[in-house]
Amino acid sequence: MNPVPILLIALIAVIVIVALYFAGKQKDEAEGILEKFPVGTYLAGFAGAKDRENLVECSVIEASYVFVADHDKELGRIPRNGIIDVFYEEKAQTLSRLTATKDLTFTAFGLDKSANDLKKEYCLVIDWDDNFAVRHNTIFEFTGSAASTLAHKAVEALKRHQKPHVPRLRADEKRCPYCAEIIKREALVCRFCNQRI
């Protein structure tokens, strides 16, 4: 058997793989994507995404984190300056730390499993507020023998691109022009510095 055709096919395969890699990088740069990384299986936390989604990827752009499921289905966005906390831990312990659990049910969260099964599962939790000062918890799940390592890598990537948190103002609030404290929009005198507004 002649090795030349096999080497030629291998060389063509390498060239195609490299070309696809650089085409993907150029597409990401054109879309303003700074980095992409996997965040596991989506469980809850975005208003428009109710179903569990596997293989979710986070794309970091200038203003936000964009979470996309398989086949380019956008699940939601989180402002890069909106994150209050991001952490991961064993799934069984996660529910007690959440701050916005109103959208979660125990069975949807998977707490009907045995304790041994839950120890192999880790949750990545992003505690954030939106532009209307509404607080959310977005939750992703990692399972299997490398779950802890993968969750840790996702948390580190999120923290690497995180901007300092900027507290949002509700519709009925404003900042005092003298002391920068948050006060009611209708206030005529600041309750912190007593200046007339």
Q: What is the number of other CB atoms lying within 10 angstroms of the CB of residue 140?
A: 25
Q: How far is CA 186 from CA 174, 175, 193, in A?
A: 9, 11, 16
Q: What token pair was written down for 185?
A: 């929009």
Spatial neighbors of 102 by CB under 8 A, at least 6 apart, are none
Q: What token pair was written down for 50?
A: 């109710």
CB 38 within 8 A of CB 143: no
Q: What token pair was written down for 43?
A: 């469980």
What is d(CA 33, CA 46) in angstroms, rounded to the nearest whole number? 21
Would you call 71 helix, strand, or coil by DSSP? Answer: coil
pLDDT, tens only, 11-45: 888 888 877 766 666 565 557 889 999 999 999 99
pLDDT, tens only, 81-127: 999 999 999 988 877 767 654 445 444 555 555 555 545 899 999 99
pLDDT, tens only, 134-170: 889 999 999 988 999 999 999 999 999 999 998 788 8
Confidence (pTM) = 0.70
Q: What is the DSSP string of 105-168?
A: -HHHHTTTS-HHHHHTEEEEEEEEE-TTS-EEEEEEEEESTTHHHHHHHHHHHHHHHPPPP-PP
